[in-house]
Structure 1
């Protein structure tokens, strides 16, 4: 596996991340040809693997064992993968990370069942750990993620939502699974309880910043960087933080444009005009400031952890999240 982005931060995880990659491939292997091809198509599209990396780094604060940690790292990444397949159906997305989505290469039915299959495999793998608390934390996170997804669908093109509602949604959709990745890595390794708590708080705040940064990049990134067209979230009706802020704080002419776009469900104003409007609005700066606040909280949580290169690696990842362009 070629290390890129986040994985470069902690080079001595390379061998264990290769174990995770092999286990991911083995986990989705099936004798059903269409299901096997669709699941591996998604896996080959790659990703940052941020959740497994957090599991392994968190495990360094206890009795580290890749042979145990893989039973958490792999399921967490599979859960994330399953949600991506389902998201692409809901969003009618043709590409992800520059590759055709499962739904565009096959169809919606194949995509939905592929996501269900991957989710089922994640639960099967984590069952190899006997600790019921691990299973409860993971299942609770899945429940909250589903709630977040339902809330997002409910709020498509909704110009009446507020900041609190947006933050609760991204907490459920993104931040909790990242927080649980850090928490379970520490738990499975037997790290002290205070360190596990610190890892959870780090992961939660880093996860909030990660999603806000994603929402910023949807307007400021290029199609090549994002692997999908700029403004894809807004095109689908997802009212993210930069839009929400601009809708409430920009000058009246711009507010009317945003309102017209949302009220008409994208018909009244061209999407390219909306992307330019939001890109040049105060909404981007406000969202960046809030992401920076969450990153500061994440870094502060690390003060509870022992000094050393693994704490430094987590801090570097927090900085990467804030500075990334993809």
Structure 2
């Protein structure tokens, strides 16, 4: 196995360190195969490598843009860690955290590509919004799958975010309609069967459906952002990315 065959993701199990996974979902992670020490060293290597590539871009605006993503990642992790089992979390707080943890990278990447293409600042801004809305839609879809797919499909235990107290869109929507769910979350699932009951309530109260609507809403905004570009196979490819993401919950 070479370094080219693995992908970096923020680790949710190794404290503040990083881990690597195969490109196919559900595969074993590097820390499972080779241990935490190797996973952390691999993360350090990839971080150093990416920093080197960033410095060699020789475009100060893009360097600042991507550097902000690193700050956003840390902010997202702090927000998540400080809000576990907080049943008062609002949708706006959830979306902000999702921006920091996911959409910041996609929005910075799409704007950076626009900057390098030499287009106008207004198009650069629209491409930033495209990346932002695509990233938010992607995160919401991921959070839906946590409740609708099996552990084998996910490559991790189902509802793992909920177990750890990370309340996502389906939970937030369900909390608006079901007071019992709040009591269960506040108890941090200490009673037997409480997790299963919480998952049942989330489905029953329409939390999944409303989260699907949110993912589609962000996807529609991303498609609208692309109207700043002339029709072409390139714009079609960017639109295709948005639709491919939504197909994961069809």
Considering the TM-score relative to the shorter chain, is it more than 0.5? Answer: yes
8 Å contact from structure 2 (residues 107, 131) kept in 1: yes
Alignment of 1:141 onto 2:59? no
Q: 1:120 to 1:87 in 2, by over 3 A?
A: farther
8 Å contact from structure 1 (residues 175, 205) kept in 2: yes
Question: Corresponding residue for 1:259?
Answer: 182
Q: TM-score, normalised by structure 1?
A: 0.68
Q: TM-score, normalised by structure 2?
A: 0.87
- 1:100 is paired with a residue whose SS is coil
CA offsets, 1:259-314, max 9 Å, x none? 34322323225333433332333111111111111111111111111111111111
Q: 1:269 to 1:163 in 2, by over 3 A?
A: farther
Question: Corresponding residue for 1:316?
Answer: 240
Q: 1:95 to 1:201 in 2, by over 3 A?
A: closer
Q: 1:325 to 1:248 in 2, by over 3 A?
A: closer
Query: What is the Cα-based RMSD across aligned positions, in Å?
Result: 2.5
8 Å contact from structure 1 (residues 213, 288) kept in 2: yes
Count of paired positions: 244
CA distance in 1, matches of 2:128, 2:20: 32
8 Å contact from structure 1 (residues 261, 269) kept in 2: no
Question: Corresponding residue for 1:189?
Answer: 117
CA distance in 2, matches of 1:127, 1:88: 30
Tell me which of 267, 277, 286 is aligned to 2:201. Answer: 277
Q: 1:309 to 1:176 in 2, by over 3 A?
A: same
CA distance in 1, matches of 2:137, 2:88: 23
Structure 1 residue runs of 5 or longer lacking an equivalent are 1-36, 47-80
Show the 5 A alignment for 1:119-268.
Answer: 119-250=47-178, 255-256=179-180, 258-268=181-191
Question: Corresponding residue for 2:42?
Answer: 114
CA distance in 2, matches of 1:95, 1:112: 9
8 Å contact from structure 1 (residues 245, 283) kept in 2: yes
The structure whose residues are more often helix, as a share, is 1
